Chain A
Amino acid sequence: MTERTRRTRGTALPYLLIGPAVLALCLALGYPLLRQLVLSFQEFGLAQQFGRPPEWVGLANYRELLTDAYLWRVTARTVTFCLVNAAVTMVLGVGLALVMRAMSTPVRLLTQTGLLLAWAMPVVASLTVWQWLFDTQYGVVNYVLTSMGGDFQGHGWLLRPLSFFFVATVVVVWMSVPFVAFTVYAALTQLPGELLEAAEIDGAGVVQRLRYVILPTIRTVLLVVGLLQIIWDLRVFTQVYILQEAGGSARATNLLGTYIYRLGIGGGDFGTSAAVAVFMLALTVVLTAPYVRSMLRQERTV
């Protein structure tokens, strides 16, 4: 495909095509991002928000953060939570998308509608319902487990951090699987049926077909979706925040997202909170670097 490169070098067309997107992003994000970066070098609290001139403190916010052992605990927790959630979501989502191809049309439509219902449910409602389901006193989960003979009356699901994160994982995965399943299924529709048939005639088994035919075709979409899952799961906020309000210990269950919020809006210290945000960005870049590098290599060689 090198001729493509030759043909388009030097024309203005690609720039015209990305122009609107670049403009929109610069317009809506340029200043806020710059300000966020500047804030991280300032002593900036509520008083500064209302007009008191901020004080430039250089790297003090960062120094204070990085020397706090708690930040590293939260970081390790966040990374673990992110990887587990992204993995579970991807396995379930991609699996479901593949299985959807084999379903009869009515069942597939039903499944898709179900996934969409879950996805479309307003967050306030879904988090409230999940909270109710796992409620210590009146939760449906405890009720069902107890009536099935378990000793779950008054069981506090959020009490212990591990159990807390189990519930959080259930909620996060439940909210993310529809997106993965939908996008991957859409990508699978691009798969040439003849190719699969040919492979089958050649005697390729399910695993081989998956590995040599299906996965390469949807590779780009799969990688994009996987990467997005990592990014999003690293930033999980609302689910954990709401669960913390309902039970458990905030200090033992803070992830970077909730930590930033509690420092910023919760505590009115926007400087430090911006510094954590920058730190988190750096962390994400590091965590996704291997993938991004291999992707860039692929981009160059195409």
Chain B
Amino acid sequence: MVRIKKSMSGVAIAALALTTLAACGNEDDGSSSNDGGGAESADIRVWLNGTDTPQEARDWLKETFEDQNPGSTLTIEQQEWDGLVEKLTTSLSSESETPDVVEIGNTQAPTFTSAGAFADLTGELDALGGDDLLPGFVDGATVDGKTYAVPYYAGSKYIFYRKDLLEKAGLEVPTTLDEFVQTAIELKKANPKPANFSGFWFPGQDWRNGAAFVWAAGGELAVEEGGEWTPALSSDESLAGLEMAQQLFMGASGAPKDGNEADPWTPFCAGEVGMMSTPGWVKGLIEAEDTGCPDTYAKEMGVFALPGTDAEPAPVLMGGSDIAIAAKSPHQDLAQEAVALMLSDDYQTIMAGAGLTPAKESLASLLGDDEYAAATVAAASNAKLTPAAPGWANVEGSRVLEDLFSAIAQGGDVAELAAKADEQMSGQLNG
């Protein structure tokens, strides 16, 4: 019932993805009725969040989709990350107002996938890229063997540092995690002024960066056994990681002990930061005239991926977005075509051009080969997701980890605090 086989002859840009999809379309039992010739035509509403997706990609998606599905239209409705969960909670439950395709943060995705908000994409997975899709993302969106969301783009945090300060202190770019901690502490010692100088800028609430130390030390936030999740912050490995974090908080960071990680370019451009772990797009803000400091510290900026214990990059928290189809969308076939286009090589090439790590591993080279691209690729290579526990949203919602790391930053007893956090999480993890 989907009439794409004929129409694609013209502009077949994403030909491969579409042929496979046409096959999928034919499997449909044709439940949605439509007057006239039996072809489904509709307006497909795609929700994209924030301004990450470049305009070029949006235009391409709309044009290509409408070319290949005569009679149908595709509307991109921009939403904000702020308040997204509220909006998805309501809109995805509505038959009449639900968007067809939505972008969702990769750590938010498990909450919705396990709740049945998204359509099952397991059957289309191979057509969409199969093993080539970023594996961590697919795992994170898989519940009981069924996959409900696919990666859209990725981006993990890496270390920005001041080349001049490292040089002045006679330090090298660290290659192991221990070296990193030592470098951070010595950098702080070498720069007694300003008083809030950070060898490593590490605000107290920043558990997302803190988790990397737990993971690098071999620890976990929570572990699954026989379908039951138990918190794991009190394991010896996790404690070692938390203590490393405390070393950094106490000996290397001048950031507020209870602050959050927003606007890291502000302290960087105030000359208060030696090293910091931030998303790649921060580069643009540091180099811009009205947000950053293009004439001063931006010139001394360098990057590397946070090193792990064994010369591999450390397992940092994986950032990025998923794309999913609303379970209640009445236009499942057309929605699938839109998703296929968004994962097509052409579309992902545009995304890579904007500095976003493509959803397919084979396209990583599109990022280029400067040091930023290298750091992006390296950071992503070993990145991890938050535990896929059904109640993980409870943990984040009640701010257990923000409280934990903030208390550690203030010099609290690590083992005691970890035990307390474990106790709180144990009631939440299993939903």
Q: Give residues in A with beta carbon < 8 Å to B.
A: 45-47, 49-52, 136-138, 153-154, 156, 158-159, 244-252, 262-263, 265-269
**A244–B398 touching, CB < 8 Å:** no
Instruction: Name the residue of chain A whose CB is nearest to the CB of B431.
Output: A45
Partner of B205 from A45, A50, A247 at Cβ < 8 Å: A247
Cβ of A193 to closest chain B Cβ, rounded Å? 50
Instruction: Name the residue of chain B whose CB is nearest to the CB of A259.
Output: B398
Q: Give residues in B with beta carbon < 8 Å to A.
A: 85-86, 89, 92-93, 111-112, 114-117, 195-196, 204-205, 254-260, 266-267, 272, 327-328, 391, 393-394, 396-400, 402-403, 406-407, 410, 424, 428, 431
The 26 listed contacts between A and B (C-beta, < 8 Å) are: A46-B393, A49-B93, A49-B115, A50-B92, A50-B93, A50-B115, A51-B116, A136-B256, A136-B258, A136-B259, A154-B195, A156-B259, A158-B258, A245-B260, A246-B260, A247-B256, A247-B260, A247-B406, A249-B258, A250-B399, A251-B400, A251-B403, A262-B398, A263-B397, A267-B393, A269-B394
Partner of A250 from B115, B196, B398 at Cβ < 8 Å: B398
Looking at B259, B396, B407, the one whose CB has the most chain A CB atoms below 10 A away is: B259
Instruction: Name the residue of chain A whose CB is nearest to the CB of B256.
Output: A136
Q: Give the complex CA separation of A156 and B203 in angstroms.
A: 12
Cβ of A16 to closest chain B Cβ, rounded Å? 36
Partner of B195 from A45, A153, A265, A266 at Cβ < 8 Å: A153
Cβ of A132 to closest chain B Cβ, rounded Å? 11
Cβ of A39 to closest chain B Cβ, rounded Å? 14
Instruction: Name the residue of chain A whose CB is nearest to the CB of B398.
Output: A262
Cβ of B51 to closest chain A Cβ, rounded Å? 18
Instruction: Name the residue of chain A whose CB is nearest to the CB of B255.
Output: A137
Q: Give the complex CA separation of A252 and B204 in angstroms.
A: 15
**B403–A249 touching, CB < 8 Å:** yes
Cβ of A123 to closest chain B Cβ, rounded Å? 13
**B396–A266 touching, CB < 8 Å:** yes
Query: Secondary structure of the B side of the interface?
Result: loop
**B89–A49 touching, CB < 8 Å:** yes
Cβ of B387 to closest chain A Cβ, rounded Å? 15
Q: Give the complex CA separation of A138 and B194 in angstroms.
A: 13
**A47–B114 touching, CB < 8 Å:** yes
* 9 cross-chain pairs, A with B, having the tightest CB-CB distances, nearest first: A266-B397, A46-B115, A267-B394, A250-B399, A247-B258, A136-B256, A267-B397, A47-B115, A50-B116
Q: Give the complex CA separation of A153 and B197 in angstroms.
A: 13
**B111–A268 touching, CB < 8 Å:** yes
Cβ of B260 to closest chain A Cβ, rounded Å? 6
Instruction: Name the residue of chain B whose CB is nearest to the CB of A158.
Output: B258
Q: Give the complex CA separation of A247 and B257 in angstroms.
A: 8
**B410–A50 touching, CB < 8 Å:** no
Contacts A137-B267, A138-B266, A250-B398 given; does A265 touch B89 at CB 8 Å: yes
Q: Give the complex CA separation of A46 and B428 in angstroms.
A: 14
**B399–A251 touching, CB < 8 Å:** yes
CB neighbours of B428 from chain A (8 A): 267
CB neighbours of A248 from chain B (8 A): 258, 406
Contacts A47-B115, A156-B256 given; does A249 touch B267 at CB 8 Å: no
Q: Give the complex CA separation of A244 and B195 in angstroms.
A: 25
Q: Give the complex CA separation of A46 and B267 in angstroms.
A: 39
Cβ of B172 to closest chain A Cβ, rounded Å? 29
Contacts A46-B115, A49-B89, A247-B260 given; does A268 touch B398 at CB 8 Å: no
**A45–B403 touching, CB < 8 Å:** no
**B431–A52 touching, CB < 8 Å:** no
CB neighbours of B407 from chain A (8 A): 249
Q: Give the complex CA separation of A250 and B406 in angstroms.
A: 10
